[in-house]
Structure 1
Amino acid sequence: MQLDDRSNCLLQEVITNPGIKNKDLEEKYGLSRRQIGYSFDKINDWLEINNLPRIERTRQGLFIVNPILFTSLHAEKEKAFTNQYLPSDIERAEMIVLLLLSRNEELSLFHFTSALDVSKNTILNDLKIAQNLIEPYKLKIHYSRQHGYSIEGNEFQKRKLLINVIQKILEMYNGQVWIQKLANITKEEIQNLHEQIEKVESKLNLKFTDEKMESMPYILSFVLRRIKQGKIINSFHIHYDELSDTKEYKATEELLYNWGDIPTEERLFVTLQLLTTNVSSSELLTEETIPDLIQAVDEMLRLFEKMACIVLQDKEQLLHKILLHVKPAYYRIKYKLTISNPLQETVSNEFKELHHLVKKSTKPLSDLIGSEIPESESTYLTMLLGGWLSRQGDSIHHKTKALVVCPKGVSVSRLMQSNLKELFPEFIFLDALSVREFQQYNLDYDVVFSPVFLQTKKKLFIVRSFLQKEEKYRLRKQVLQDLHGYMPSDIDVDIVLDIIEKHTVIQNKQALMKELQQYFTNNQSSSIKQQPETTGKPNLSELITPETISLHPAVSSWEEAIRLGAQPLLENESITSSYVEAMIKQYDMSDPYIIIGPNLAIPHASPEDGVNEVAMSLLRLEEGVDFAKDHPINIVVIIAARDKQQHLRALMQLTRLAVCKEDIDAIIQAKSAEEVHEIIEKYSVE
């Protein structure tokens, strides 16, 4: 293997000037960060082949050069590095795919050996690699004596493959020259399309990224060539109504004005290329064509803040930045046009925990799009949020990361996690896991809470599944003492409020108390003295009475189960109709946190969503309804809580009932509300 000119030049620069930064190289040689990264991958491959140490790069863009290289490579200056670039076998395979998708004539081995200047045996090996490259697209390389080599399969998949291959070859050294040579494209044609795309930028009031501006003329050229060759997309899952009203569709009409009669499906496909292209700036956050996008991104950021225990600064500005990425990503995900992200593996390895939290926070986006967010797209979001946190001098690396591990099932694990989150709001709780899941867990963490002993090198705190008030207080002191070496002093928020009230007028006492609690809890030198528990916490049998128990044979959906189960509480005015809608809106079937045991679910929402007084109701179904995949539920208990305290005794009693299969089965078989209530009374003791 020999180095190309660009890689050789960069290597000599770093050896001569080891203090140079990545950004300096970008400016000096007019290269993008990705191009430099690509070259250093090649340099390190070359160094390894020559048994020399690799050149490493830091997060700050500095280069770490082993002293051995200064001595070894000084002698190499005497040798002449070749000016001829030799593509790797994968790069040749990508070029073969490009030839097959761009040429209309019959292609033989001779065409490939002539174009790539390698032997027949090398090409035969490259064809096998090319087949592996196209298999994910459900395409196949076919050969016949009459027609030579061709790619068989769905035209839409061929277009996706073509776009991916173009972008890969452009990342190579002299990539543009290779494409123009292999596909017989003139510089004039590319320049003409480039100018037309710049007009589109002006019309849409946005700026595409430099990387996309480089690839789009080639993509359009190849797409138009295939249309002329009669290789048309026939059946298409693109919705005309969704795209035809966009500014991008109108821009496409102008772009294709001189290209004759082009089918509607193809116009929509070109529109998608504009819609899915990343932009570096835009005057508009979004359009009416994607309703609720801003709200979904805002909810995503709030969810991330909650899970990462971080307050994002200048959130409006960050929202705008993310929308620039999310709008094209919306169409890429929806229409299955996502491609691999070259930084995916790097980001996943370097920012594993941050990436994990970002993926968990993308639920509002996936709900809006109707599809899971692919790894390549969530990687970009991790990069954006990671960069923003660095800018504001914040990082999850400095926060305590905790796990909850419980052998008693998902429901108890989640209940434990919820209680511990309240007790340690300054911790990031990454996951609630089973013991087996914990044994295979590969993210970094600092603390584990579990009711059982676990093999771990990190801090392990053995805690009961259900903690009483005094146990919580002792646990917090113990954990902070072990982690930080101090005992937190007590701060009584009520006393602080009394002092403030002596000297000023408090306009919203409840909001002020909430903010003070959050501030004091996040300050690691103190802990909040909890409010004394109020007396009069009702037992389970006092909340679930025969009047709030209803028995039905079956329902058509989990939504209907929630509405039917909540009916007694609506009738006695414990809740409002808005509370019912909030329960339905907040529930996520992919994350069934409300399922606390086999056959039992506890739908609930926040007190401010419409709770008039603490209450519970129970719906018993003879035939279970799915609240999650493979989770049929026969017993639905609606919980309406006024605060975080009053319903807890009843909830603990209900949790004990949930793990008793005999009594759960008895409720499912019960013939009357009174029979159900008798079973509940067994658990209604302190």
Structure 2
Amino acid sequence: MYYVQYNEFVRRECDMYLDERSSAILRDLAAGFRKNSGEIEEKFRLTRRQMDYSLKKINAYLAEQNIPPVKKKRNGNLEVGKEIREVLRQKKDYFYSETERVQIIAFMILTQSDLSLQHFISELKVSKNTVLSDLKAVQQLFADYGSKLKYTRQQGYIIDGKEFEKRKLLIDMAGQLICLPDGRQLVRKLGRLKEDQVQKYRDWLETIERKLDVTFTDEKMDSSPYCLALVCRRIKDGKYLDEAEMLYEELTDTKEYAMANELLAELGKVPRQERFFIALMLLSANISELGILSEEKVSVIRDAIEEMVHDFENKACVVFKEREELKEMLLKHMKPAYYRMKYNLTLSGNLLDIVNIEMYQEELKEIHTIMRGCIGPVEQLIGSRVPDAELKFLTLFMASWFRRQGTKITEKPRALVVCPNGITVSKIMHSALKDLFPEFIFLDAISVREFEEWEESRYEFVFSSVYLNTEKKLFVVEPVLSQKERRQLRRQVMEEVYGIAVADYDLEEVLRIIKQHGMIRNEMQLLKDLKKYFSSRISDTGFGDSEDQEDLSLMDFLSDEYIIQTDRAEGWREVMQMASGPLISHGNAEERYVKRVLAQYHDNSVHIIFGGRIAVPHAMPDKDTKRVGLSLVTVKEGVLFGGLNIHLFVMLSPVDEKKHLKAILQLSKLSESERDVRRIAEAGSKEEIREIIKTYC
């Protein structure tokens, strides 16, 4: 949620305000991560012209507040004064972004009656035209929930749709508004709630925590009392769910259902579907600990997770070292996610912000694509397709496992990781920070409430996704960091903690200087070589962009030396021996690795055959794999393997779980084309093979 301060409002069409994009940029600048216009352009996908326009709006706005402007230097760096950070910290009045105005209007329509245009203008302090524009967005929002926005002179603005969808929207909007400055007060005011009503449901949730031995996240403990109060009021007013919408018999055996019965008893005779709904609200909450599931349900979910992880390992050509721990963490995540997905509820506001971060599409698309191909067991379990937001969340979780590493060096600074968004996001943050700062001991990933109970003598530093009231050194970080954000955070921490000024190189600027003094034949290759050189100069800082960290494609691996063509072979073992030749001769792997590969496969090893057309033999990384590599053997007549006639064999020499992912994904896409696999098998030259492969890179 982005917001900016305003002190005075002139109610006219030309009011000075920040649009949503400019508000987001201002908040980003105040957080201190991005201090270069190019980085902001990349994150928000802006042109330079759009960036300059937003910067002008931000500076005009800051001038109204008597705050020094953001200055842009010739190299693109942005000079941001300390006063800007105070804009976001002061608890005065706020100008809502377009998204926030839409959420407020939607919430008002759901909780109030007899609403006219003037009510929205008065509440939001914007012009009539602005509200009319916002109402169009509200109309689309309602449509996304299978409902319609209607207006009549007798009733004013109302929402028309099924009660289940109205409640989903109500809960989502309340969760979003709670996150705003003074959000609790706003929800109480707009929802016509009294503080003692909200406190009653907060006490009830704390009772559930004790009775069921679960811990709700800080975010849920903030929003759920308001949501429960609003839902129970709808029930009291006779706005019942359609019985056909909530016949979820499997919920009757849960302890949450029993607690729902206790809560609704005070309302008298209430239809059974309403008890189901309250139970579902509890079961779909994000919980910091596993909570209680029936043994049968745990067993079924565990089996689905086992099958999903196994499929992921096969498709990604990886073997997770701490496999059992990974499965247990996934089980903890899946308990609330299971009910969210199965009963068509959505992620709460802040979690949606996390899974939809801009860097996601650029850095995690390979893992996301693989996850989409492995999620079948979970979809079979819930009986429907896993929503993309949930799949992205799982992708972030799996990506964090790729970066896991552990150290046991003593005498290191001790740090806590604080995140109010639940166990999955906390573990993602903890894993990423542990990987980024091997100099630190990261004690635990905890909630805000847990942090308040920690003794300050046990730690020296705090990394948190929210501002905290602490005397210790606090670093406020995003829950998920892009590569550039990791570099900037490490630079900031090293300078502030150790007094080490870490060198940084603007490669685009270096390239520009080179262009002034000579002709460049291959700009992309030069930029790649510069990255490699400068990363070797700063590798001791722990965040260099080395070549090894880049995503390598099939074309990077399959030079002529790594491609072998043959008409026929005696059997698949002979082909695998042929495939190992280039890997051994070029130092990617040792003979011992080949023996390990051959030992673990047999005639029916169909799980390593992509698309029924390309065999990809491999073993987990070990001392006998020196450099990541791929070799390709094409057999024109084919070889019987796994009961199939296979023409292409690709042997993988992995050094970790990540560097080969992009190439494996491209290989998987290639396997879907029977025509191109046949063309490669029958190609007359290696160059012809590479030309076909190039179309998949």
Distance in structure 2 (CA, Å) of the matches to 1:524 and 1:195: 57
| Equivalent position amino acid for 2:101 in 1 | R
Distance in structure 1 (CA, Å) of the matches to 2:30 and 2:101: 32
Distance in structure 2 (CA, Å) of the matches to 1:182 and 1:299: 47
Is the CA contact (8 Å cut-off) linking 2:317 and 2:618 kept in structure 1? no
Q: Where does residue 101 of structure 1 map in the other structure?
A: 110
Distance in structure 1 (CA, Å) of the matches to 2:577 and 2:226: 65
What pairs with 1:240-319 in structure 2 (closer than 5 Å)? 240-282=248-290, 284=292, 287-289=295-297, 292-319=300-327
- Say whether residues 1:352 and 2:362 are aligned partners: no
Q: Where does residue 488 of structure 2 map in the other structure?
A: none
Q: Secondary structure of the equivalent of 2:581?
A: helix
Q: Where does residue 5 of structure 2 map in the other structure?
A: 4
- Say whether residues 1:126 and 2:139 are aligned partners: no
Q: Where does residue 492 of structure 2 map in the other structure?
A: none
CA gap of 1:308–1:230, structure 2 versus 1, over 3 A, is same
Q: Where does residue 233 of structure 1 map in the other structure?
A: 241
- Say whether residues 1:73 and 2:75 are aligned partners: no
Please list the CA deviations of residues 35-71 of structure 1 after superposition, one character each: whole Å capped at 9, or x if unmatched: xx9xxxxx9997573369xxxxxxxxxxxx9898775
Q: 1:251 Cα shift?
A: 1.3
Q: 1:273 Cα shift?
A: 0.5
Distance in structure 2 (CA, Å) of the matches to 1:160 and 1:173: 23
CA gap of 1:216–1:475, structure 2 versus 1, over 3 A, is same
| Equivalent position amino acid for 1:239 in 2 | L
Distance in structure 2 (CA, Å) of the matches to 1:493 and 1:264: 62
Q: 1:263 Cα shift?
A: 1.2
Q: Where does residue 369 of structure 1 map in the other structure?
A: 382
Distance in structure 2 (CA, Å) of the matches to 1:367 and 1:162: 29
What is the RMSD computed on CA atoms of the aligned residues? 5.4
Q: 1:241 Cα shift?
A: 2.3
Please list the CA deviations of residues 437-456 of structure 1 after superposition, one character each: whole Å capped at 9, or x if unmatched: xxxxxxx96343xxxxxxx7
Q: Secondary structure of the equivalent of 1:365?
A: helix
What pairs with 1:372-411 in structure 2 (closer than 5 Å)? 372-392=385-405
**Among 177, 189, 197, which residue is 1:189 paired with?**
197
Larger radius of gyration, structure 1 or 2?
1
Q: 1:313 Cα shift?
A: 3.8
Distance in structure 1 (CA, Å) of the matches to 2:278 and 2:302: 25
Q: 1:134 Cα shift?
A: 1.6
Distance in structure 2 (CA, Å) of the matches to 1:520 and 1:13: 42
> TM-score, normalised to structure 1's length?
0.54
CA gap of 1:88–1:486, structure 2 versus 1, over 3 A, is same
Is the CA contact (8 Å cut-off) linking 2:212 and 2:292 kept in structure 1? no
What pairs with 1:26-105 in structure 2 (closer than 5 Å)? 47=55, 49-50=57-58, 71=79, 73=81, 83-103=92-112, 105=113
What pairs with 1:596-615 in structure 2 (closer than 5 Å)? none
Distance in structure 2 (CA, Å) of the matches to 1:373 and 1:193: 31
Q: Where does residue 446 of structure 1 map in the other structure?
A: 552
User: Whose relative contact order is higher, 1 or 2, with alpha carbons under 8 Å and at least 6 apart?
Assistant: 2
> TM-score, normalised to structure 2's length?
0.53
Please list the CA deviations of residues 101-124 of structure 1 after superposition, one character each: whole Å capped at 9, or x if unmatched: 112x31112222222233333222
CA gap of 1:493–1:138, structure 2 versus 1, over 3 A, is closer
Q: Where does residue 168 of structure 1 map in the other structure?
A: 176
Please list the CA deviations of residues 511-562 of structure 1 after superposition, one character each: whole Å capped at 9, or x if unmatched: xxxxx9946888324999xxxxxxxx999xxxxxxxxxxxxxxxxxxxxxxx
Q: Where does residue 343 of structure 1 map in the other structure?
A: 354
Gaps of 5+ in 1: 21-36, 38-42, 53-64, 399-443, 449-455, 499-515, 529-536, 540-590, 599-651, 657-686
Q: Secondary structure of the equivalent of 2:211?
A: helix
Please list the CA deviations of residues 414-462 of structure 1 after superposition, one character each: whole Å capped at 9, or x if unmatched: xxxxxxxxxxxxxxxxxxxxxxxxxxxxxx96343xxxxxxx7874677
Distance in structure 1 (CA, Å) of the matches to 2:303 and 2:147: 39
Q: Where does residue 140 of structure 1 map in the other structure?
A: 148
| Equivalent position amino acid for 1:486 in 2 | G
Q: Secondary structure of the equivalent of 2:151?
A: strand
Please list the CA deviations of residues 345-395 of structure 1 after superposition, one character each: whole Å capped at 9, or x if unmatched: 333433222222233222221122222221111122222222233223799
CA gap of 1:246–1:594, structure 2 versus 1, over 3 A, is farther
CA gap of 1:198–1:48, structure 2 versus 1, over 3 A, is farther
Please list the CA deviations of residues 476-505 of structure 1 after superposition, one character each: whole Å capped at 9, or x if unmatched: 434676xxx43755449889999xxxxxxx
| Equivalent position amino acid for 2:343 in 1 | Y
Q: Where does residue 219 of structure 1 map in the other structure?
A: 227
Is the CA contact (8 Å cut-off) linking 1:272 and 1:331 kept in structure 2? yes
Q: 1:98 Cα shift?
A: 0.4
Paired residues in the alignment total 443
Identity among equivalent pairs (%): 32
Q: 1:328 Cα shift?
A: 1.7
